[in-house]
Amino acid sequence: MKKLGFGLMRLPVTDENDQKSIDMTELCKMVDTFLQRGFTYFDTAYMYHDHQSEIAIREALVKRHPRDSFTLTTKLPVSMCKAEGDQERIFEEQRQKCGVEYFDYYLLHNLNSRNIDTAERFDAFGFQKRLLAEGKIKHMGFSFHDNAETLDKILTAHPEEEFVQLQINYLDWDSERVQSRLCYETAVRHGKKVIIMEPVKGGALAKLPEDAEALLRAEDPEASIASWAIRFAAGLDNVHVVLSGMSDLAQLEDNTAFMSDFKPITGDQRDKLYRCAEIINNYVAVPCTACRYCTEGCPMGIEIPDIFSIYNAHMKAKLLHSWGDKSKEKYQEFTSTRAKASQCVKCRQCEGICPQHLPVVDTLAEIAGIFEN
């Protein structure tokens, strides 16, 4: 199997403010091109695109292509399991939404130190094993967003898990918060295959600050900026597949082009990427990937990723001493019909589910102080 997977979390939409408005015409073109170029791995989840991603892939892929021509992966949202029977109910709903009899890969979604107790209480690992024995899934594993110590504990307790899906990219490689390298090394030590998510960090590594981009353009003027991030991830040992959340046909055509004839980066190129990471960290105030997990349960309906994006633009303009910063006006326009940062009630559900472990509540308070005074 080729190493590029199609992540179905950032699909093309007809309305950027409506995650449900998936552009099915564009998606069908993307799915067809992906398969025609010899790639087969598709990754969705229960919550993606406001619970519409699984339905979209049924229409674009499952109904239009032979079942043995693709690999389909989805995930059990452990954090949404509140009572006995929830796992079974959700799994059957997923099969119906995707229109399949079985999933090739089935993951426990976003395991971390906060929800591992839920997984154990409902015996989610045993549930996976039962599905495997019944032929309803072919492989089992979990996606993970936490520190290496927690990962080691889970893999020690559950050696039956076949693979781990980890956030790995050159920006987070040595991050104390994300711990990409340490988690990767932990999975390898346990002999697990690694599936990589967020290699481009939600698109953040596809458009770099000018000085960082210049480093990569000097190395290879023809290569897309995103290709460097994906090649960094795909070149690691023990990597089974690298997921890319592609949002239009142009992105898919670029990714499949350089991954069809994959060439790992060299040691010198790796050093340049680490230098790019240093530059990026100087500009980005909040390393949010806009996964939107935080918005699902926000009691005030705060569009946290959008507010963080405006804040990042403001902080970058401040760093560059830009006189044309319109961030305050943009914030006021955006929140004229939506909840403001100051409306946060500090319930911290967002922090419990944030894959980046961001201090969301404190950051919203800081943003309110800047834009609402």
Q: Do residues 56 and 20 touch, judged by C-beta distance below 8 A?
A: no
Q: What is the pLDDT of residues 172-205, one digit of tens each?
A: 999 988 999 999 999 999 999 999 999 999 888 9
Q: Which residue shows structure tokens 């990219």? A: 169
Is residue 314 domain-shared with residue 364, that is, in the same domain? yes
Q: What is the pLDDT of residues 83-97, one digit of tens each?
A: 999 999 999 999 999
Q: Do residues 137 and 102 touch, judged by C-beta distance below 8 A?
A: yes
Is residue 327 domain-shared with residue 367, that is, in the same domain? yes
- The answer for 322, left when phi > 0, alpha when psi is -120 to 50, beta otherwise, is beta
Q: What is the pLDDT of residues 335-358, one digit of tens each?
A: 999 999 999 999 999 998 898 889
Is residue 57 domain-shared with residue 139, that is, in the same domain? yes
Looking at the DSSP bridge assignments, the partners of residue 6 are: 42, 244
Is residue 278 domain-shared with residue 297, that is, in the same domain? no
Q: Which of 92, 108, 94, 109 is nearest to 62 (CA)?
A: 94
Is residue 329 domain-shared with residue 276, that is, in the same domain? no
- Domain finish residue from 229, 259, 283: 283
Cα angle for residues 279, 225, 216 (degrees, 5° grid): 60
Strands 71-76 and 103-111: parallel
- The SS3 of residue 372 is coil
Residue span of the structural domain in which 278 resides: 4-283
Q: Is residue 288 a part of any domain in this protein?
A: no
Distance of CA 191 to the CA centre of its chain: 23
Question: Which residue did the predictor score with more confidence, 56 or 315?
Answer: 56
Q: Is residue 50 a part of any domain in this protein?
A: yes
Q: Is residue 161 a part of any domain in this protein?
A: yes
Q: Give pLDDT, residue 296.
A: 83
pLDDT tier at 323 (50, 70, 90 boundaries)? low
Distances, alpha carbon 225 to alpha carbons 168, 297, 301, in Å: 17, 34, 34
Is residue 312 domain-shared with residue 261, that is, in the same domain? no
Is residue 189 domain-shared with residue 94, that is, in the same domain? yes
Looking at the DSSP bridge assignments, the partners of residue 242 are: 4, 196
Distance of CA 369 to the CA centre of its chain: 30
Number of independent structural domains in the chain: 2
Is residue 60 domain-shared with residue 179, that is, in the same domain? yes
Q: Which residue shows structure tokens 């089992």? A: 140
- Domain finish residue from 262, 283, 304: 283
Is residue 38 domain-shared with residue 116, that is, in the same domain? yes
Q: What is the pLDDT of residues 261-291, one digit of tens each?
A: 899 999 999 999 999 999 999 888 899 999 9
Structural element, H or E, at residue 144? strand 137-144
Looking at the DSSP bridge assignments, the partners of residue 48 are: none
Q: What one-letter code names the amino acid at 321?
A: H
**CB atoms closer than 10 angstroms to residue 14:** 12
Q: Which of 251, 259, 144 is nearest to 192 (CA)?
A: 144
Is residue 230 domain-shared with residue 316, that is, in the same domain? no
What is the pTM (predicted TM-score) of this model?
0.88
Lowest mean pLDDT of 5-9, 167-171, 255-259, 323-327, name the range: 323-327
- Domain finish residue from 249, 283, 317: 283
The CATH number given to whatever domain includes residue 45 is 3.20.20.100
Q: Which residue shows structure tokens 């991030």? A: 229
Q: State the Cα–Cα distance between residues 291 and 167, nearest whole angstrom.
A: 12
